[in-house]
């Protein structure tokens, strides 16, 4: 059933981990003193903005409810744009072919009251629809049902009440009412900049580095100041009556190094906040728009160029498909999302949703910072927008078109290397980071902890804002979520149940999604679900556990190795085309327990190791006299060629892996040659033999003390036999 644009939920406060729009800069002492008077502290629900009795933190009781976004149902029969067009033609419904949506007359408005004859938009990719006049939205199946009812009863329109939501629980109703009251309280308590004393207004602008933004521009966009926390308030007006539906608060916090960090808070919560800031100022005849990643950038573009500009509600992290209908009227869309590699990558991804042929991108660079900084530096924003490059790609290009991209990778080496792991520094030394568009093959012996290890690796990235989709085919989602929650809390919550709500609330805020598959699945079904998730939630990392479970429903008459090669090729193509990192777990072939795994140990043909950008092997050395030792070996790294191996210790209390701190356990890197790799393995074997020799000597000493008799020590031959065992 359909859900209205005003989604429900408790208030969520998100701290911007990596400020995108204004980099950390030296801060004026006067402003720093003002900031320290209104501290921000972290609460179990998020950030709490305190000051003079005001605070924005919801401390309601826990409500048990199913979140529709927590898991992805398998796409049994995904709809295509051809199916949608064919259905509309059979029902004799006129439509226009737009950039990302099909435009049809709204069936929820009387024909005499229709301001725009084509105000109902159907997404070409998902089939979801939105009526801009009534804000009725729903799935393609919902729209089909409505059309069937309308044609059967020979009506020319349907009331929006035909589509009813599931009844709200008492807790949901209470949360929604609380949010509405909170929005009204914040808005009524905020003050326009024109009503502030001149000195105070100048000081606030200096805090947020918007001294060149005039009060007239702030008033036109409705920006106010929330005095209790010294926060900028950006309103969300929407709906047929342009009512106030939410607010975003931007606060500044000084650090010990005289730098400033910006924090955002939204009401309602961030995953229900769909505000295209600046949309009410868009005219019906406007054909060009500048899409920015932050509200301050939109203010700068509008004031400096006079062009229509809107800001995305979640910056560069996501472009919700529900906002695409509001961008359909523009024939030219310029994406100026920021001044770093992450913003550049997001611009290329978003241009796919918006249609390449109408998009142009502002390439980040020294002379092209984000709009707010460009205005502060006195640069010509209009000229920067004119110098944007078209997003449409061609089959052939010259080095001239690649020159700036190559230079950008040389200048921004750390950002190009990808997202760094916080818990696995040795992995950062070898792989340099986690990059989009790559395929990683991960293998290890049965029972060595492959799922547990890769879940912590994915959780580490997810905690840093990498949108992650998990496809677990071996264990169910409840058990997987329990493992990841234990790793997130770094403790056994079974022994600390009173802390469950605290950690569960924080874990729920992670951009983590699960596919509802379990057991053997068809590759086409899995791929359709992955593509849907990338489009809907801008997924950056997909984990598949594991390959063998997806081969069960394929044609049994085909060679299993050919089937595996086909599946690996599909994932390779998906990772490249979707700019999404895919981690694929593959069981190894049967090997002797005393033999270490190699790249050739991966089950199947050489297709997996050839297509992969990275190959990771979880080694486990089983010993007789002591627990087995684990180590992680990187045997392929296409990014820069570095490979290596380092030991791992398993911490059972938190289900996490850590690198031993002992001095003898150091990261060993090789240059990628087979003979160097053999040398590393020899060194590992030497260390293992030393450990075994020590254990044997200890056992002999114990036996001698127990028997209290003098025994002839073992010969070297017997010692070697014990070591071999």
For the stretch 459-493, pLDDT in tens is: 999 999 899 999 988 888 999 999 999 999 999 99
pLDDT at 209 over 50: yes
Q: How are beta strands 541-545 and 468-472 bridged, if at all? A: parallel
CA distance linking residue 576 with residue 609, whole number of Å: 16
Q: What is the pLDDT of residue 73?
A: 53
CA distance linking residue 125 with residue 80, whole number of Å: 7
Which residues lie closer than 8 Å to 374 by C-beta, 6 or more apart?
300, 304, 368, 381, 384
Show the tokens assigned to 116: 């725009």
Q: What is the pLDDT of residue 674?
A: 47
Q: What is the pLDDT of residue 167?
A: 56
User: Which range among 259-273, 322-336, 499-513, 680-694 shows the weakest confidence by mean pLDDT?
Assistant: 680-694
Q: What is the pLDDT of residue 29?
A: 40
Q: What is the pLDDT of residue 665?
A: 43
What mean pLDDT comes out for the span 355-381?
A: 89
User: Which range among 297-306, 314-323, 384-393, 433-442 shows the weakest confidence by mean pLDDT?
Assistant: 384-393
Proportion of the chain above pLDDT 70, given as a percent:
76
Residue 252, beta-bridge partner list: 262
Q: What is the pLDDT of residue 717?
A: 52
Per the model's pLDDT, the better-predicted residue between 207 and 718 turns out to be 207
CA distance linking residue 243 with residue 223, whole number of Å: 16
User: Please, how many CA atoms are within 13 Å of residue 583, restricted to the half-sphere of its CB?
Assistant: 27
Per the model's pLDDT, the better-predicted residue between 521 and 480 turns out to be 480
Other residues' Cβ atoms within 10 Å of the Cβ of residue 540: 26
> Residue 201's pLDDT band (boundaries 50, 70, 90)?
very high
Q: What is the DSSP letter of 168?
A: P
Q: Report helix, strand or coil for 598.
A: coil
> Residue 607's pLDDT band (boundaries 50, 70, 90)?
confident
> Residue 529's pLDDT band (boundaries 50, 70, 90)?
very high
Q: What is the pLDDT of residue 39?
A: 36
> Residue 371's pLDDT band (boundaries 50, 70, 90)?
very high
Residue 224, beta-bridge partner list: 192, 233
pLDDT at 115 over 70: no
pLDDT at 5 over 50: no
Show the tokens assigned to 129: 């629809």
CA distance linking residue 113 with residue 133, whole number of Å: 10
What mean pLDDT comes out for the span 394-413?
A: 74
CA quadruple 693, 699, 704, 705: dihedral sign: positive
> Considering only CA atoms, which of 658, 611, 596, 585 is closest in space to residue 422?
658
User: Please, how many CA atoms are within 13 Å of residue 447, restricted to the half-sphere of its CB?
Assistant: 5
User: Which range among 59-68, 167-176, 338-347 shows the weakest confidence by mean pLDDT?
Assistant: 59-68
> Residue 240's pLDDT band (boundaries 50, 70, 90)?
confident
Q: What is the pLDDT of residue 365?
A: 80
What stretches of 544-613 show up as alpha helix (H) in DSSP? Answer: 560-578, 607-611
Residues in the chain: 725
Q: What is the pLDDT of residue 584?
A: 94
Measured CA distances, 103 to 313, 522, 605, 613, 647 (Å): 24, 34, 48, 42, 58
What mean pLDDT comes out for the span 559-568?
A: 85
> Residue 164's pLDDT band (boundaries 50, 70, 90)?
low
Q: Which CB contacts under 8 angstroms, 24+ apart, belong to 659-663?
A: 659/424, 659/425, 659/426
Per the model's pLDDT, the better-predicted residue between 162 and 373 turns out to be 373
Instruction: Express the helix, strand and coil content of the chain in percent, nearest 5 each.
Output: 40, 20, 40
CA distance linking residue 619 with residue 648, whole number of Å: 9
CA distance linking residue 698 with residue 700, whole number of Å: 5
CA end-to-end distance (rounded Å), the chain: 64
CA distance linking residue 635 with residue 643, whole number of Å: 6
What mean pLDDT is reported for the chain? 80
CA distance linking residue 348 with residue 335, whole number of Å: 9
CA distance linking residue 630 with residue 452, whole number of Å: 13
User: Rounded to the nearest 10 degrees, how much is the dihedral formed by the CA atoms of 149, 150, 155, 160?
Assistant: 100
Q: What is the pLDDT of residue 1?
A: 35
Cα Rg for the chain, rounded, in angstroms?
A: 29
Question: What kind and span of H or E run contains 543?
Answer: strand 541-545
Which residues lie closer than 8 Å to 281 by C-beta, 6 or more apart?
220, 221, 302, 308
> Considering only CA atoms, which of 275, 390, 266 is closest in space to residue 326?
275
Q: What is the pLDDT of residue 291?
A: 96
User: Which range among 19-33, 117-131, 632-646 shows the weakest confidence by mean pLDDT?
Assistant: 19-33
User: Which range among 313-327, 601-615, 699-713 shows the weakest confidence by mean pLDDT?
Assistant: 699-713
389-390 β-sheet, strand order: 309-311, 288-292, 332-336, 359-361, 389-390
CA distance linking residue 666 with residue 186, whole number of Å: 55
Region for 230 from its dihedrals, namely left if φ exceeds 0, alpha if ψ lies in -120 to 50, beta otherwise: left
Show the tokens assigned to 18: 């990596």
Other residues' Cβ atoms within 10 Å of the Cβ of residue 498: 7
CA distance linking residue 21 with residue 262, whole number of Å: 9
Q: How are beta strands 656-658 and 643-651 bridged, if at all? A: antiparallel
Proportion of the chain above pLDDT 90, given as a percent:
41
> Considering only CA atoms, which of 73, 58, 80 is closest in space to residue 11?
58
Show the tokens assigned to 703: 């036996």
pLDDT at 597 over 50: yes
Q: Which residue has 């990558």 as its token pair?
A: 345
pLDDT at 557 over 60: no
> Residue 217's pLDDT band (boundaries 50, 70, 90)?
very high
pLDDT at 70 over 60: no
pLDDT at 127 over 50: yes
User: Please, how many CA atoms are within 13 Å of residue 366, restricted to the half-sphere of its CB?
Assistant: 5
> Residue 35's pLDDT band (boundaries 50, 70, 90)?
very low
User: Please, how many CA atoms are within 13 Å of residue 707, restricted to the half-sphere of its CB?
Assistant: 10
Question: What kind and span of H or E run contains 408?
Answer: helix 399-411
CA distance linking residue 54 with residue 228, whole number of Å: 6
What mean pLDDT comes out for the span 508-518?
A: 90
pLDDT at 11 over 80: no
Q: What is the pLDDT of residue 428?
A: 92
Q: Report helix, strand or coil for 519.
A: coil
């Amino acid at each position: 059933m359909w859900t209205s644009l005003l989604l429900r939920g408790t208030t969520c406060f998100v701290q911007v981990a990596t400020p995108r729009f204004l980099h950390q800069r030296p801060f004026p002492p006067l402003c720093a003193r003002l900031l320290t008077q209104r501290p921000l502290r972290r609460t179990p629900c998020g950030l709490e903005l305190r000051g003079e009795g005001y605070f924005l933190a919801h401390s309601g009781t826990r409500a048990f409810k199913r979140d529709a976004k927590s898991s992805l149902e398998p796409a049994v029969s995904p709809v295509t744009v051809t199916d949608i067009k064919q259905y509309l033609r059979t029902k004799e419904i006129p439509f226009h072919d737009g950039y990302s949506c099909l435009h049809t007359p709204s069936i929820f408005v009387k024909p005499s009251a229709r301001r725009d004859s084509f105000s109902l938009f159907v997404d070409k990719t998902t089939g979801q629809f939105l009526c801009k006049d009534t804000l009725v939205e729903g799935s393609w199946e919902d729209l089909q049902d409505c059309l069937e009812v309308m044609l059967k009863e020979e009506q020319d329109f349907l009331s929006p009440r035909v589509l009813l939501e599931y009844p709200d629980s008492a807790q949901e109703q209470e949360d929604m009412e609380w949010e509405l009251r909170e929005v009204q309280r914040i808005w009524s308590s905020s003050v326009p900049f024109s009503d502030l004393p001149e000195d105070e207004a100048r000081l606030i602008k200096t805090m947020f580095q918007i001294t060149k933004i005039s009060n007239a521009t702030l008033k036109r966009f409705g920006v106010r100041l929330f005095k209790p926390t010294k926060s900028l308030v950006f309103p969300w007006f929407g709906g047929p009556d342009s009512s106030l539906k939410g607010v975003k608060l931007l606060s500044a916090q000084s650090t010990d190094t005289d730098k400033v960090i910006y924090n955002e808070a939204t009401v309602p919560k961030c995953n229900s906040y769909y505000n295209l800031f600046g949309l009410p100022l868009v005219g019906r005849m406007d054909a060009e728009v500048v899409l920015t990643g932050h509200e301050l950038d939109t203010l700068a573009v509008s004031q400096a160029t006079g062009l229509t500009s809107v800001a995305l509600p979640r910056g560069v992290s996501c472009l919700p498909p529900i906002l695409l209908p509001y961008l359909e009227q523009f024939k030219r869309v310029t994406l100026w999302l920021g001044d770093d590699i992450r913003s550049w990558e997001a611009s290329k991804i978003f241009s796919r949703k918006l249609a390449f042929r109408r998009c142009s991108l502002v390439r980040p660079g020294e002379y092209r910072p984000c709009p707010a900084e460009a205005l502060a530096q006195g640069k010509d924003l209009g000229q920067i927008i004119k110098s944007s490059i078209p997003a449409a790609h061609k089959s052939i290009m010259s080095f001239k078109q690649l020159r700036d991209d190559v230079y950008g990778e040389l200048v921004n080496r750390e950002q190009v290397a990808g997202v760094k792991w916080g818990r696995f520094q040795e992995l950062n030394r070898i792989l340099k980071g986690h990059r989009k568009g790559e395929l990683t093959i991960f293998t290890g012996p049965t029972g060595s902890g492959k799922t547990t290890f890769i879940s912590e690796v994915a959780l580490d990235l997810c905690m840093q804002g990498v949108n992650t989709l998990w496809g677990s085919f071996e264990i169910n989602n409840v058990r997987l979520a329990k493992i990841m929650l234990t790793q997130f809390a770094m403790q056994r919550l079974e022994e600390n149940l009173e802390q469950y709500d605290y950690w569960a609330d924080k874990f729920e805020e992670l951009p983590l999604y699960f596919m509802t598959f379990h057991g053997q699945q068809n590759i086409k079904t899995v791929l359709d679900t992955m593509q849907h998730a990338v489009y809907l939630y801008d997924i950056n990392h997909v984990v598949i556990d594991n390959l063998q479970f997806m081969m069960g429903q394929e044609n049994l008459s085909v060679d299993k190795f050919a089937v595996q090669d086909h599946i690996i090729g599909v994932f390779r193509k998906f990772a490249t085309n979707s700019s999404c990192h895919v981690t694929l777990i593959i069981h190894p072939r049967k090997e002797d327990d005393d033999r270490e795994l190699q790249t050739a140990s991966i089950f199947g043909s050489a297709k997996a190791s050839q297509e992969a950008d990275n190959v990771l092997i979880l080694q486990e050395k089983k010993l007789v006299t002591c627990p087995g030792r684990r180590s992680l070996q990187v045997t392929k790294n296409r990014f820069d060629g570095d490979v290596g191996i380092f030991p791992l210790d398993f911490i059972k209390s938190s289900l996490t892996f850590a690198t031993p701190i002992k001095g003898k356990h150091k990261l060993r890197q090789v240059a990628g040659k087979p003979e160097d790799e053999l040398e590393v393995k020899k060194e590992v074997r030497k260390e293992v033999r030393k450990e075994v020799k020590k254990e044997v000597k200890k056992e002999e000493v114990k036996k001698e003390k127990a028997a209290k008799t003098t025994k002839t020590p073992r010969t070297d031959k017997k010692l070697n036999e014990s070591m071999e065992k």
